[in-house]
Amino acid sequence: MSEVKTINQGKNFSHASVGCLNGFEGKQFVKDATGATSCEISFGSLPTGAAVPFFHSHKDNEENYIILSGAGKFQVDECVFDVAEGSVVRVSTACDRNLKCTSAEPMTYVCIQAKEGSLGGYTMTDAEITERESLL
Ligand code: ZN
C-alpha cells in the first residue's frame, strides 16, 4: 500500500503525495499530511469485483467522489447507478453509500468530505487575480 508523505511545507502551503495512482491500492487519507482545515481528502482503489467492505453515512459532512480510473456501481440508500472514469458523485449526509468495481482494471477514486452547506464564495466570487512575478 502506498503511503501519504508530506513532501514540503511553507508558511502558506503543504504538499503531500500518495504516489503514483497507477498501481495504488487500498485507502489513504490526506488531511494529516497536509494539515487541511476545510475538508478531508482520501484516495481509494478497489480491485475488480470488490466493494468497500461496509456501508456508511455521515452526520455533518457531504462527500464528493471523483472516479479517476475504472468503472463500477455506486449505491446510495436503495438507488444504484453506474459510474466510470470522470464521474463525480455528491452524496449528502444521513444516507448510506458504497461503491463496487466492476471493470477489468481497478477503480481508483478520490473522496472529498466537507461540512454540508459550508461552501460560501467559490471560484471568482472568492478568488481575485493578483500581481506577482512568476518564478516557474
Ligand atoms: Zn465517508
63 C-alpha to center of ligand 1: Å?
Answer: 6
Tens-place pLDDT, residues 16-30: 999 999 889 999 999
Place of cell 476545510: 38
Q: Can you tell me the mean pLDDT for 36-48?
A: 97
- Tell me the pTM: 0.93
pLDDT exceeds 80 at position 2: no
Average pLDDT of the segment spanning 104-130:
95
Round to whole Å and give the CA distance between 51 and 73: 9
Report d(CA 35, CA 16) in Å as an integer.
10
Q: Is pLDDT above 80 for 67?
A: yes
Residue 131 C-alpha to ligand 1 middle, in angstroms? 39
Using the mean position of ligand 1's atoms as its centre, give its distance from the Cα of residue 20 in Å: 23
